[in-house]
Amino acid sequence: MMVNLTSLDLGSNNFSGTIPANLASCLKLKAINLARNNLIGEVPETFKNFPSLSYLSLSNCSLNNISTALKVLQHCPNLTVLVLTINFYNEQLPPDDDLQFKALKALVIANCRLTGSIPPWLNGLTQLQLLDLSWNHLTGSIPGYFGDFKSLFYLDLSNNSLSGEIPKNLTQLQSLISRDISLEEPSPDFPFFKRRNTSMAQYKQIMRFPPFLDLSSNHLTGPIWREFGNLKKLHVLDLKHNNLSGTIPGSLSGMSSIEMLDLSFNSLTGTIPASLVSLSFLSKFSVAYNNLTGFIPSGGQFPTFANSSFEGNSGLCGEFFMNCRKSQDPLQTPASEKKKDRAIILPVLTGFGIGFLVTVIVLLVVPAIRDKNKTD
């Protein structure tokens, strides 16, 4: 009987209508998956104080009123994982200061086209390990308090309209420095579904997600902090499609576990630090479409990166990218090259002058002397 169920997976069953209010009567239910159905309406009030519920996925439905949903679900004392992706279209993420999810470890509210700013009530989610607010229309700045979350190791704020500098506090995330997180968490029979481009990654446990920081496709400005090099456990750092400026810190070589580093489509200047060749796990790298100059490092993983990783930087050159001498501006030829050119051109001009003088003497002066001698 359903009364004794601990896990209920009704995902992808084309159910329509509203969420059954009587589910809350199943007091032993710990995990509920209603994702990818045709559900409408709101989260029922009966879900308040759902005693055992720790995992709830309502993604890919057509629910409305995110404020009501959060106000109801905050009363589930053991709720650990909440997935609300692809719902609540064009609503505002509620700014309420009194929302509390003390047990929550994973919150996913992605691809909802939500408006507003990142709300202050998130500051109370001190147990948070995974936060995904990507593919919305959020504005304002990234809160510095995220850096105070001791267990947060997966943060996706990509594809929003966030502005301002990257909070330096994000370089102090302890889980990305030491990665010492408890493995005690719910493990339902059904997985998370996390879309990455066209591929679909499936995870049943939070800990299966890679240490991840994605702030791409926003309006962020300012520098890339050198302190990012402290994040030794980070696997993915994606900062592409922003307005970041300044140089690429050589200290990024301290991210010894990094597998993907994307800094493309910004306004970065200077050179690519040679120290990055020490990143032995780096399999995807891009600095395309910045204002970088100088030589591309040729050691480590760099010979494996495609030319597209460096394109859009007219001042970059390297062994595997383009011939550096051909890429130089002839109006800005180095002084040593100019001296070399003078050393070659001067003897040539001197030789040409001497040859011309000898020719004049042979053709004009000598015949004139001969004629004069004949006359005499």
Average pLDDT over residues 48-58: 89
Instruction: Record the pTM.
Output: 0.84
Nearest residue to 300 (alpha-carbon basis) of 276, 336, 331: 276
Identify the domain containing residue 29 by its residue range.
2-332
How far apart are alpha carbons 39 and 35 in whole angstroms? 9
For residues 97 and 34, membership in a common domain is answered with: yes
Whether 53 and 29 have beta carbons less than 8 Å apart is answered as yes
For residues 158 and 70, membership in a common domain is answered with: yes
Whether 261 and 288 have beta carbons less than 8 Å apart is answered as no
Average pLDDT over residues 35-50: 91
For residues 252 and 354, membership in a common domain is answered with: no
Q: In degrees to the nearest 10, what's the CA dihedral of 38, 43, 48, 54?
A: 50
For residues 27 and 84, membership in a common domain is answered with: yes
Coil vs helix vs strand at 44? coil
For residues 175 and 283, membership in a common domain is answered with: yes
Residue with tokens 């939070």: 206
* pLDDT higher than threshold 60 for residue 354: no
Nearest residue to 162 (alpha-carbon basis) of 224, 105, 117: 117
For residues 178 and 241, membership in a common domain is answered with: yes
Nearest residue to 100 (alpha-carbon basis) of 126, 81, 118, 82: 126
CATH number of the domain enclosing 244: 3.80.10.10
For the segment 180-206, what is each residue's pLDDT rounded down to a tens digit?
665 555 566 666 655 555 444 566 677
Q: H/E/C letters for each residue in 162-214? A: CEEECCHHHHHCHHHHCCCCCCCCCCCCCCEEEEECCEEEEECCHHHCCCEEE
**For the ranges 75-79, 177-181, 192-196, which has the lowest average pLDDT?**
192-196
For residues 142 and 33, membership in a common domain is answered with: yes
How far apart are alpha carbons 217 and 231 in whole angstroms? 22
For residues 118 and 241, membership in a common domain is answered with: yes
**For the ranges 189-198, 283-292, 297-306, which has the lowest average pLDDT?**
189-198
224 Cα distance to chain centroid: 12
For the segment 205-262, what is each residue's pLDDT rounded down to a tens digit?
777 788 999 999 999 999 999 999 999 999 999 999 999 999 999 999 999 999 999 9
For residues 223 and 357, membership in a common domain is answered with: no
For residues 319 and 366, membership in a common domain is answered with: no
300 to 139, 254, 277, 281, 357: CA distances (angstroms): 39, 15, 4, 10, 60
Residue with tokens 């003078």: 342
Maximal C-alpha separation, the chain: 141
For residues 71 and 96, membership in a common domain is answered with: yes
For residues 272 and 345, membership in a common domain is answered with: no
Whether 313 and 293 have beta carbons less than 8 Å apart is answered as yes
Average pLDDT over residues 307-324: 85
How far apart are alpha carbons 100 and 128 in whole angstroms? 12
What is the Cβ-side half-sphere exposure of residue 100, based on CA atoms within 13 angstroms? 4
Domains in the chain, number: 2
> How many residues does the structure list for the chain?
376
